[in-house]
Structure 1
Amino acid sequence: MKMSKSKTRTLHCLWLFLLACLCSASLANNAKINFREKEKKVLDQILGQGKYDARIRPSGINGTGPAIVRINLFVRSIATISDIKMEYSVQLTFREQWLDERLKFDDFAGRLKYLTLTEANRVWMPDLFFSNEKEGHFHNIIMPNVYIRIFPNGSVLYSIRISLTLACPMNLKLYPLDRQVCSLRMASYGWTTADLVFLWKEGDPVQVVKNLHLPRFTLEKFLTDYCNSKTNTGEYSCLKVDLLFKREFSYYLIQIYIPCCMLVIVSWVSFWLDQGAVPARVSLGVTTLLTMATQTSGINASLPPVSYTKAIDVWTGVCLTFVFGALLEFALVNYASRSDRAADMHRESIKKKRRDMEQASMDAASDLLDTDSNATFAMKPLVRHPGDPLALEKLRQCEVHMAPQKRPNCCRTWLSKFPTRQCSRSKRIDVISRITFPLVFALFNLVYWSTYLFRDEEEN
């Protein structure tokens, strides 16, 4: 009997505990319901009809002066940076915060931290606009990405997610070794600085997502500044963010610079081909020239038509000149080879005449010997025979005087060191080209990269 009584008491205690928990839970639920009802009453109290006018701006500090609006941004992504349109697209979370003492309310001992609204037209809003905006839109999937929080002291926080396409004037003189500064400007449209002032939020006014990835650029840094503008209607408050982008050079190195170098080197193969291989040398020169011209036109198609010379223009122009020079070199070689053939034919004709004259002199000498053997006295002819040795000597002297006198030259001295000094002029042109073209191209590369890699943007 004692054990049964103790069990019944334990069961009664458990039942009482459960009833107490249920009662407390129901009271807490009722309190929450009542608390939500209090939020509704607070909203009706501060934003009720005839109690708050959203058309009137809030007063400044201590009830006087302009309204102070503090701004901060969170850059979610940067989609594209277009060189030809000179614009960039960005998606960001935009936040504004200001104080409106008309919206103060009782926080019920800290239980009501803030009130949340989704309708921006119920409170006064700053008339901010993006001055360098081309296009923009809000995000409404699944619900409009916007909220307004009202704090007990009357502070208002407005946050919205927007996508913008902004103008970005670019200086392409150092393209593709350049850095570009793209700005995001925010200003007041109607309120002057006497009524409304924009300030950056203290601490961390601009935030950027950590895994920001751009295909051809790298975001090096960003700077915040003020850009107040004065017009004939007054001075307007303005804020700006300067985003410094560095162009990724590896893409252009693989797609432009290395192929151009290869085309120039391929054009030099013509110097090592035989002079008589006219179809091979002509086709090689024309093919590389057309390929280089196509490469240049493809590069210019992706850039705006600017009035100044870009770094890529210097590179493609010089490479095109080298390829064209290799084609002209073959024309010079072909002309020199024809001159060499004509000179060889002329020398052969002179040698033939000389052999004929030597043969005639030998025949005349034999005739004289026969005449001396038959007669004691012989008369010397008044006119010498063409085969006479004296006539041959005079002919040689005339040839020496008629030949052009060559003056000593350092270039000829240098060329005499090569084993091809006995070769024709056309062969010498090929030998000089094999050495000169690579040396000049290497010198150009040295000057080009030292000029553009260590050149400051401020010089432009």
Structure 2
Amino acid sequence: MRTWKNENMTVVFILLIVIRASGCHESDMLKIGNDRYQQFYQAETLTSAHEPQTAHDSISVHTRKQRLSFDSKENMAITRSNPEVGSEKDSSEPEDNMHTITHQDREGLLYSDAASTPTKNNPKGNVDISGRNASEIRLLLTNLSNLEDNDAITNRDYGSSYILPVLKAVKYDNNTLPIVFSDVPVNVRVLLNIIHIANFDSLQMEYTIDVEMEMRWFDVRLANNYSKSIRIREMSVIEKIWTPDPYFVNSKYSYFHVVSFPNFRMRISPNGLVVYTLRVTLQPACQMIFCRFPHDRQQCDLRISSIAYPQSNVRFSWHSTEPVRFVSSVTLPELRIASMLTHQCHVEGKLIHSSCLRLVFNLQRDGSRFIAEKYIPSTLAMMFAWVAPYVPYNYEEVRIITPITVLLTLVQMEKGDQQVRTSYVTSMDTWFGAMKMFSVISLLESLAVLALIKRSRAMGRQSSNATNQLEKANFRAEQKRLTRLYHRLDSTARFLSPLFFIIFFVYYVIFVAQGDEMECIKG
């Protein structure tokens, strides 16, 4: 008899803990506990009427009530404050029948105390805590209460199973737009959280972006009397609810994240506000113009539109405050994001005119790498060609080899940059073209000087072989004139080469590097 009583006390304790963990309010626990206690008390009364009371079982009914009931000062005044959670039915069934109490917690899971209830087939239940006394149970329940208070369970959302009765009550059709007035489209507000963005590829003209897209709209059919929102993360439940059909107009490739769980979630407020969030990685196309490369500024955009609904039915709009946010700071290797702009647009198709959102990334290329790898080396190589006018005249081979070597170096240096390939002339092409032109001019100057030197030497030989003084004087005069000419040519080259380079550099910085982005492809 004592064992049977302890087992029933154990059942009540387990039931209270399970319901407590599942999210019931204390009023629900009190009602279910009292129902269980009434069953236990009735069975005990019937048994006591047929069996004599022994000294071992001398505990009075009043004492048992004090052990199994809640503290009257704390719990007897509790009323039901959560109308959403259905109350369990009062049980008046005999103990021989299986009495199952099922409760839905906030995660949509189902808890049952059938396995813990003592029956004829399972007289002891699953857990045996008959050795614990009432003080231990009260201490454990007190600790659980403190944990709940600290964890703020009452602020958590309900689970997805709470939306199912709402859908059933209104005979919800997920293929029907949540339109209240025929002339008012469904306004879907969009917010983007950029998790990662990179790979602004100038060759493929594309970039990669990992974004968390949040959409908000009102669906009056989902309005409910719950005191808290409903959180849904199961795709089987999300598919029962109408959602917009956004697609990324300029995306070449995209995929949703499903590891380790499909990255979708939905939150439904009691007033019918639906917040739908998904994570997607995209590879949008980006048409780039490289007229001013590597001083170019690019614009890459991301366009979002509806694939099936015209703008008279569904209208996309940006979130009112901070529609685009970066989850973490972004550092790009070459093209950095100077600014972002959000616009509303329209996609005009043959069948429908749909609403559209456009996110524009204003990009600016970091030219420091090109200064170190292109501009400074090419300038030094070109200046090395200026050495030719300073070479002594008896080193004729050096005067020829130096400009040719510089020219070949510049050609190889320009060819080594395979970052962009265009059919039009870029700023970098203009720069290397000028450097090669200066090298060619230095080569031509060296050839002209060598030709004059060779002719001057010929005049000297003819002067030595002259038979009369008049011819000898003429040859010497011509020799002096040629000598003065190539000396003057060298002096002019030494002065004009740096001057022309400075003039070109100023022109390049002001007009070429800062010129029109579209100038090279115009008419």
Give your verdict on TM over 0.5.
yes
CA 1:19 to 1:441, structure 2 compared with 1: closer, same or farther past 3 Å?
same
The residue that corresponds to 1:236 in the other structure is 354
1:341 paired with 2:461, answer no
- Distance of 2:198 and 2:303 partners within structure 1: 18
The residue that corresponds to 2:496 in the other structure is 436
1:186 paired with 2:301, answer no
CA 1:273 to 1:33, structure 2 compared with 1: closer, same or farther past 3 Å?
closer
* 1:302 pairs with one of 398, 419, 440: 419
* 1:425 pairs with one of 461, 464, 485: 485
Query: Match of 1:193, as an amino acid?
Result: Q
Q: Secondary structure at the match of 1:105?
A: coil
Structure 1 contact 85–304 (Cα < 8 Å) conserved: no
* 2:179 pairs with one of 47, 59, 72: 59
CA 1:446 to 1:39, structure 2 compared with 1: closer, same or farther past 3 Å?
closer
Question: What are the superposed Cα offsets for residues 303-360 of structure 1, whole Å, 9 maximum, x if unpaired?
Answer: 1323x3211111111101111222222221221111111222233344x522xxxxxx
The runs of 5 or more residues in structure 2 that have no matched partner are: 1-66, 72-132
Query: Match of 1:42, as an amino acid?
Result: Y
* 1:353 pairs with one of 445, 468, 476: 468
- Distance of 1:453 and 1:286 partners within structure 2: 28
Q: Which has the higher contact order (CA 8 A, sep 6+)?
A: 1
- Distance of 2:386 and 2:158 partners within structure 1: 87
Q: Secondary structure at the match of 1:226?
A: strand
Matches of residues 86-235 of structure 1 in structure 2 within 5 Å?
A: 86-107=205-226, 110=227, 112-119=228-235, 120-235=238-353
- Distance of 1:34 and 1:251 partners within structure 2: 56
The residue that corresponds to 1:330 in the other structure is 446
- Distance of 2:393 and 2:429 partners within structure 1: 33
Q: Secondary structure at the match of 2:275?
A: strand
Query: Match of 2:166, as an amino acid?
Result: I
The residue that corresponds to 1:9 in the other structure is none
The residue that corresponds to 1:370 in the other structure is none
Query: Match of 1:69, as an amino acid?
Result: V
- Distance of 2:241 and 2:396 partners within structure 1: 84
* 1:278 pairs with one of 396, 418, 425: 396
* 1:246 pairs with one of 364, 370, 376: 364
Measure how far apart 1:285 and its partner are.
2.2
CA 1:348 to 1:105, structure 2 compared with 1: closer, same or farther past 3 Å?
same
The residue that corresponds to 2:113 in the other structure is none
Q: Secondary structure at the match of 2:362?
A: strand
Query: Match of 2:208, as an amino acid?
Result: S
CA 1:336 to 1:23, structure 2 compared with 1: closer, same or farther past 3 Å?
closer
| Higher radius of gyration, 1 or 2 | 1
Structure 1 contact 42–105 (Cα < 8 Å) conserved: no
- Distance of 1:209 and 1:86 partners within structure 2: 25
Name which of structure 1's ranges 420-429 and 256-265 shifts more when overlaid on structure 2: 420-429
The residue that corresponds to 1:412 in the other structure is none
Query: Match of 1:436, as an amino acid?
Result: L
- Distance of 1:17 and 1:45 partners within structure 2: 41
Name which of structure 1's ranges 241-250 and 420-429 shifts more when overlaid on structure 2: 420-429
- Distance of 1:399 and 1:280 partners within structure 2: 33
1:72 paired with 2:191, answer yes
- Distance of 1:159 and 1:459 partners within structure 2: 43
Give the total of aligned pairs: 383
- Distance of 1:458 and 1:185 partners within structure 2: 23
CA 1:224 to 1:40, structure 2 compared with 1: closer, same or farther past 3 Å?
closer
Matches of residues 356-435 of structure 1 in structure 2 within 5 Å?
A: 423-435=483-495
Calculate the TM-score normalised by the size of structure 2. Answer: 0.66
- Distance of 1:138 and 1:116 partners within structure 2: 17
CA 1:446 to 1:64, structure 2 compared with 1: closer, same or farther past 3 Å?
closer
Q: Secondary structure at the match of 2:341?
A: strand
Structure 2 contact 309–354 (Cα < 8 Å) conserved: yes
CA 1:22 to 1:338, structure 2 compared with 1: closer, same or farther past 3 Å?
closer
**Aligned Cα RMSD in Å?**
3.5
Question: What are the superposed Cα offsets for residues 43-67 of structure 1, whole Å, 9 maximum, x if unpaired?
Answer: 321245993222222114x575321
- Distance of 2:316 and 2:350 partners within structure 1: 20
Measure how far apart 1:265 and its partner are.
0.5
The runs of 5 or more residues in structure 1 that have no matched partner are: 1-11, 355-394, 405-419
Measure how far apart 1:434 and its partner are.
1.3
Q: Secondary structure at the match of 2:387?
A: helix
CA 1:29 to 1:255, structure 2 compared with 1: closer, same or farther past 3 Å?
closer
Name which of structure 1's ranges 114-123 and 252-261 shifts more when overlaid on structure 2: 114-123
CA 1:165 to 1:316, structure 2 compared with 1: closer, same or farther past 3 Å?
same
CA 1:233 to 1:333, structure 2 compared with 1: closer, same or farther past 3 Å?
same
Structure 1 contact 104–151 (Cα < 8 Å) conserved: yes
Question: What are the superposed Cα offsets for residues 224-264 of structure 1, whole Å, 9 maximum, x if unpaired?
Answer: 11111223323110000111011111111111111110110
- Distance of 1:288 and 1:49 partners within structure 2: 84
Structure 1 contact 184–240 (Cα < 8 Å) conserved: yes
Q: Secondary structure at the match of 1:54?
A: coil
Question: What are the superposed Cα offsets for residues 403-428 of structure 1, whole Å, 9 maximum, x if unpaired?
Answer: 99xxxxxxxxxxxxxxx999443333
Measure how far apart 1:40 and its partner are.
6.0
CA 1:242 to 1:24, structure 2 compared with 1: closer, same or farther past 3 Å?
same
CA 1:49 to 1:328, structure 2 compared with 1: closer, same or farther past 3 Å?
farther
- Report which of the two has the higher share of helix: 1
- Distance of 1:33 and 1:48 partners within structure 2: 27
- Distance of 1:157 and 1:126 partners within structure 2: 11
Measure how far apart 1:279 and its partner are.
2.9
Query: Match of 2:444, as an amino acid?
Result: L
- Distance of 1:334 and 1:26 partners within structure 2: 101
- Distance of 1:448 and 1:105 partners within structure 2: 68
CA 1:44 to 1:28, structure 2 compared with 1: closer, same or farther past 3 Å?
farther
Measure how far apart 1:22 and its partner are.
4.2
The residue that corresponds to 1:368 in the other structure is none
CA 1:234 to 1:142, structure 2 compared with 1: closer, same or farther past 3 Å?
closer
